[in-house]
């Protein structure tokens, strides 16, 4: 009897031990890199889809693995939103992967401040033909206090008008070059029961990133925005910003967007455009791959690209569009020795000249000087590429403002388009930014 009790106690304890071991066990061998002199590096990325870019990037990793049998690449693909959240989570626990896709400006700054990244100045300086081929200001978003922490692997202008030329011709509408022409076009389409501009603003960044960032820049000018971000002599309650909000509100009141735009998402927005129900959709350069892959031919063949029209009296340069230099790879601070060497080798494969070329060939713009092989590319991408040779990039709101303020801006725009008052919303944004700068 006594014996029995001890046995059952033993069972219970060992069971518990097993359970607990199961919880904390894995991960240990991931870090030490496994057997012998084989080096293993981890990379987290968001190339999970079947679009040309994702396929091309995964191919680079595969080729790298095949060419370097002494290096083991453990890659993990996580869709964009999830990746951002997971990076924050591991950042809080100080357990960054060796290499990871990260965003310029706000995110890079925060990670540097948290002491999670190491600069790559030495690697860049060792290969000047690589460093000097990036387009002007391409490295700014990855530069903190003179140290460069990554290089952009693509270019993401966030604001183009994709328009269905067949619908414009059918209703005798001119492709708008001024704001008045845009408003006239909206009215005509509205009368003909065509959605003038389809918008899907449920995930509330869409209106801000694809439309408002450019619209506001046209009116306020870039200098004003950059000064306001620093809260240096300019405020979001300034009349020019209120005017920008008012302009957007008026566009909404004119019936530019279809009913219920705050309840459908970006995917559904593109669906409505694909169905030929909308004359225009305003979206980033990233929408092009989706269009080319998924739009039916009668829509795709009639689709062309332009930028938002000029606004008379605005302080901004009309030949611009909002955008960010694209994502880069962050290098964990903890990397040293042979692991760092291996990681930097992969870094160069992905973000160096060959990687940039592969990216461009997968119908994705790059922040790097190389010629597009126009015979291989889709005509719509050639159109975008040519357009971008003349168009300059201005900041997107969500890349320059901290995440808490961005959330206020995004929600403010939803409210604005649902009858909110420009002055009130400007004040909310100003309060949030003032608080963020004070911290």
What residues line the site for another protein (CB under 8 A)? 8-9, 12, 15-16, 19, 85, 88-89, 91-92, 110-111, 113-116, 201-204, 258-264, 268, 272, 277, 403-404, 406-407, 411-412, 414-415, 418, 420, 439
Give the shortest CB-284-to-another protein separation in angstroms. Answer: 20
Q: Which is nearer to another protein, 161 or 406 (CB)?
A: 406
Count of beta carbons in the 10 Å neighbourhood of residue 405: 25
Q: Which is nearer to another protein, 24 or 69 (CB)?
A: 24
Q: Which is nearer to another protein, 89 or 369 (CB)?
A: 89
Q: Which is nearer to another protein, 192 or 357 (CB)?
A: 192
Give the shortest CB-89-to-another protein separation in angstroms. Answer: 7
Q: 282 and 199 in contact (C-beta within 8 Å)? A: yes
Q: Which is nearer to another protein, 87 or 292 (CB)?
A: 87
Q: Which is nearer to another protein, 132 or 439 (CB)?
A: 439
CA gap 230, 181 in Å, rounded = 35
Give the shortest CB-256-to-another protein separation in angstroms. Answer: 15
Comparing C-alpha atoms, which of 64, 20, 430, 383 is closest to residue 236? 430
Q: Phi and psi for 274 in degrees, rounded to 5? A: -60, -35
Q: 203 and 383 in contact (C-beta within 8 Å)? A: no
Give the shortest CB-414-to-another protein separation in angstroms. Answer: 4
Q: Which is nearer to another protein, 202 or 227 (CB)?
A: 202
Give the shortest CB-79-to-another protein separation in angstroms. Answer: 14
Give the shortest CB-119-to-another protein separation in angstroms. Answer: 17
Give the shortest CB-183-to-another protein separation in angstroms. Answer: 23
* Angle between helical axes of 222-229 and 239-253 (0-180°, round to 10): 110
Q: Which is nearer to another protein, 259 or 371 (CB)?
A: 259
Q: 245 and 409 in contact (C-beta within 8 Å)? A: no
Give the shortest CB-269-to-another protein separation in angstroms. Answer: 11
Q: Which is nearer to another protein, 318 or 420 (CB)?
A: 420
- In terms of phi and psi (left: phi > 0; alpha: psi -120 to 50; beta: otherwise), the region of 86 is alpha
Give the shortest CB-44-to-another protein separation in angstroms. Answer: 16
Give the shortest CB-110-to-another protein separation in angstroms. Answer: 6
Q: Which is nearer to another protein, 37 or 259 (CB)?
A: 259
Give the shortest CB-359-to-another protein separation in angstroms. Answer: 29
CA gap 315, 223 in Å, rounded = 9
Q: Which is nearer to another protein, 19 or 28 (CB)?
A: 19
């Amino acid at each position: 009897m006594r014996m029995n009790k001890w046995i059952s106690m033993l069972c219970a304890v060992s069971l518990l031990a097993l359970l607990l071991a199961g919880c904390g066990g894995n991960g240990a061998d991931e870090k030490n890199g496994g057997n012998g002199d084989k080096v293993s590096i981890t990379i987290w990325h968001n190339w999970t889809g079947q679009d040309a870019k994702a396929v091309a990037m995964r191919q680079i990793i595969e080729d790298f693995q095949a060419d370097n049998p002494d290096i083991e690449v453990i890659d993990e693909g996580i869709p964009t939103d999830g990746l951002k959240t997971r990076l924050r989570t591991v950042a809080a626990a100080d357990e960054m992967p060796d290499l990871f896709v990260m965003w310029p400006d706000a995110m890079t700054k925060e990670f540097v401040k948290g002491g999670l990244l190491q600069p790559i100045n030495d690697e860049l300086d060792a290969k000047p033909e690589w460093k000097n081929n990036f387009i002007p200001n391409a490295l700014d978003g990855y530069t903190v206090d003179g140290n460069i922490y990554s290089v952009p692997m693509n270019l993401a202008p966030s604001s183009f008008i994709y328009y269905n030329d067949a619908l414009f011709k059918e209703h005798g509408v001119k492709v708008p070059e001024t704001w008045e022409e845009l408003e006239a076009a909206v009215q005509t389409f509205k009368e003909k029961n065509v959605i003038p501009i389809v918008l899907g603003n449920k995930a509330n960044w869409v209106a801000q990133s694809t439309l408002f960032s450019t619209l506001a820049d046209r009116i306020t000018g870039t200098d004003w925005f950059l000064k306001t971000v620093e809260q240096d002599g300019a405020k979001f309650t300034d009349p020019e910003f209120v005017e920008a909000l008012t302009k957007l509100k008026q566009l909404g009141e004119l019936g530019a967007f279809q009913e219920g735009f705050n309840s459908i998402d970006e995917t559904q927005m593109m669906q409505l455009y694909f169905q030929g129900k909308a004359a225009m959709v305003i979206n980033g350069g990233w929408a092009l791959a989706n269009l080319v892959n998924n739009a039916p031919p009668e829509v795709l063949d009639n689709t062309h690209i332009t930028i938002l029209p000029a606004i008379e009296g605005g302080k901004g340069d009309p030949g611009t569009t909002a955008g960010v230099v694209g994502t880069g790879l962050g290098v964990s601070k903890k990397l040293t020795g042979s692991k760092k060497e291996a990681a930097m080798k992969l870094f160069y494969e992905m973000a160096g000249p060959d990687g940039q070329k592969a990216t461009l060939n997968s119908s994705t713009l790059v922040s790097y000087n190389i010629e597009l092989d126009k015979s291989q590319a889709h005509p719509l991408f050639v159109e975008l590429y040519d357009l971008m040779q003349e168009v300059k990039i201005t900041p997107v709101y969500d890349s320059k403002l901290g995440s808490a303020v961005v959330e206020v801006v995004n929600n403010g725009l939803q409210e604005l388009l649902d009858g909110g008052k420009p002055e009130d919303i400007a004040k909310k944004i100003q309060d949030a930014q003032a608080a963020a700068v004070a911290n």
